[in-house]
Amino acid sequence: MVVAAIKRSLRTPELQPMAVDLSDDLGDSVYGLELLAVGQSGSALEPLRVMALQSLGKTRDPAFLPELEKLSATGPLAVRTMAVRSMGVIQAKGLEAKLKPLILSKEPNEVRTEAVKALGHSPEGCALLLDLEQAGELPSELRNVASAVTNASPSTTIKARAQKLLSPPTSKNKRRLPPMEQLLGMTGDPEKGRKVFTATNGPKCQSCHSLNEGKKSVGPNLSAIGSKLGKQALLEAILNPSSGIAPEYYVWILQTKTQGDVTGIIAEDTPQRVTIKTDAAEELRFRPSEISSRRRSYLSLMPEDLVNTMTAQQLVDLLEFLTTLKEGTHPLQAASVR
């Protein structure tokens, strides 16, 4: 009777959010077909589709793998990403063969990052990532996340290979950076974090990110980042800056006739002029005729090894400061309100 009621609710649009939430707690494959239908529905709200696919993954039923694979290939980015994540949770045999082409493709970084994390659930998947690195085929933008999952493997064999091929990140004092869970559990000082942010050495956050609302810089404005991202998401963005890049911050490599290769974010692209912001926070302007070619880089303009410029405690302090940056709070006073 309960099963029938939940299934009926999953088929009733106004009851679906509650039913999906309940199914997520139960993790029972008996609701799989209904959850899949919600995940596939073009009329359902995107967050509901994402949660339905998350719940579907928790059933760990390999029968749904083909449909999840289809959902991972097209549609909204959040839906595609969750489809890949759920494939990893199911941990079906042969997943390595399905995800390897995705990792080597030019699909969005968010989707490929989830594919790496999905492979990290098994020794076979970790072995594939290490094989790709050893062969020089692992994309640079995925190396950080691949390092994290392989070095966290319970397999001693995988860990030994990972330490040689994808060594874990180290902090400023050359010590191995603690795992993400440990970093999130440490206590940070927001005032010290503000000083890390504004310092002219170390990570030099202020050189690329503005804390003044409405002011543009080469990187995203962070004046209200604490209202948009939680601490874990902020840490993920620092550790793996290329795992998710908004289209307006895509990095391009322009081959120019006057200045050679120029790397940066295109701020203006018209028949009369192309303006590119470089990682040195300068703007360069070219006539279209001066540009021989352009290609997109899948790496973020934010350095992949940013954690090397901070101690673990400085990183935690910086995170604490970033969480204070809320809507309506002056960023330079934010640290003092905690």
pLDDT tens figures, 40-94: 999 999 999 999 999 999 999 999 999 999 999 999 999 999 999 999 999 878 8
Same domain, 97 and 220: no
Asked, for residue 73, whether it belongs to a domain, the answer is yes
319 with 192, same domain: the answer is yes
The partner residues of 294 in beta bridges, in order of sequence, read 254
- Given a cut of 50, is residue 180 above it in pLDDT? yes
CATH number for the domain that contains residue 152: 1.25.10.10
Query: Residue 280 — pLDDT band, cuts 50, 70, 90?
Result: low
Examine residue 173 and state whether it is found in any structural domain, yes or no: no
Asked if 107 contacts 74 with a C-beta cutoff of 8 angstroms, the reply is no
Model confidence band, residue 329 (pLDDT cutoffs 50, 70, 90): low
pTM higher than 0.85:
yes
| Residue 170 forms part of a structural domain | no
In the chain, count H helices and then E strands.
17, 5
- 59 and 116 share one domain: yes
User: Whole domain around residue 230: which residue ranges?
Assistant: 180-241+304-337
Are residue 145 and residue 224 in the same domain, yes or no?
no
Residue 91 tokens, joined = 């941990």
Domain count, the chain: 3
Last residue of a domain, one of 137, 165, 193: 165
- Section 170-178 average pLDDT: 89
Residue 280 lies in a domain: yes
pLDDT in tens, 87-107: 999 987 889 999 999 999 999
pLDDT for res 173:
86
C-alpha to C-alpha distance for 20 and 49, rounded to whole angstroms: 9
- Predicted confidence at residue 334, as pLDDT, reads 47
Sign of CA dihedral 119, 125, 126, 132: negative
**Mean pLDDT of all residues in 310-337:** 78
| 207 plus 79 within the same structural domain | no
Q: Is residue 319 within 8 Å of residue 234, measured between CB atoms?
A: yes
Q: What is the pLDDT of residues 196-254, one digit of tens each?
A: 999 989 899 988 888 886 566 788 889 899 999 999 999 999 999 999 888 888 999 99
Residue 202 — left, alpha, or beta (φ > 0 → left; ψ -120 to 50 → alpha)? Answer: left
Q: What is the pLDDT of residue 338?
A: 41
**In angstroms, rounded to a whole number, what is the distance separating the alpha carbons of residues 329 and 327?**
6
206 and 91 part of one domain: no
Looking at residue 330, its pLDDT comes to: 54
End-to-end CA distance of the chain: 50
CATH number at residue 234: 1.10.760.10
Closest CA to 22 of 12, 33, 31, 13: 31
List the structure tokens of 48. Answer: 């509901």
